[in-house]
């Protein structure tokens, strides 16, 4: 089974757009911070982008872990 057609593939596809947005926000914030590291507004924007990206990664990790555990339970019950 190809990953693109799996449940995990669907999860990754649905989160790809948001992930790309967060990565762009992070890159923009880093570029601004390189110009003026003392700007607190730019630092806050960077922290907000990192927090959003962290939440997204946590969601993806938890979802994939849940699917793994469900698959293990199903296989364990087949024995």
From residue 68, alpha-carbon distances to 2, 19, 35, 42, 63 in Å are: 16, 22, 44, 39, 9
The residue with greater pLDDT, 13 or 44, is: 44
Which run of H or E residues covers position 56?
A: helix 40-78
From the number of C-beta atoms within 10 Å of its C-beta (0-12, 13-18, 19+), residue 48 rates as middle
CATH number at residue 63: 1.20.58
Q: How many domains does the chain have?
A: 1
- Quote the pLDDT of residue 34: 94
pTM for the model = 0.71
Which run of H or E residues covers position 31?
A: helix 7-35
Residues 3, 64 contacting (CB under 8 angstroms):
no
Residue-number span of the structural domain to which 14 is assigned: 3-78
**How confident is the model over 12-40, as a mean pLDDT?**
90
């Amino acid at each position: 089974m190809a990953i693109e057609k799996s449940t995990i593939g669907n999860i990754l596809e649905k989160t790809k757009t948001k992930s790309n947005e967060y990565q762009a926000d992070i890159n923009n914030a880093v570029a601004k911070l390189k110009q003026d590291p003392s700007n607190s507004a730019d630092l806050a924007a960077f922290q907000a982008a990192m927090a959003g990206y962290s939440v997204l990664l946590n969601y993806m990790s938890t979802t994939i872990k849940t699917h793994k555990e469900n698959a293990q339970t199903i296989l364990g019950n087949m024995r």
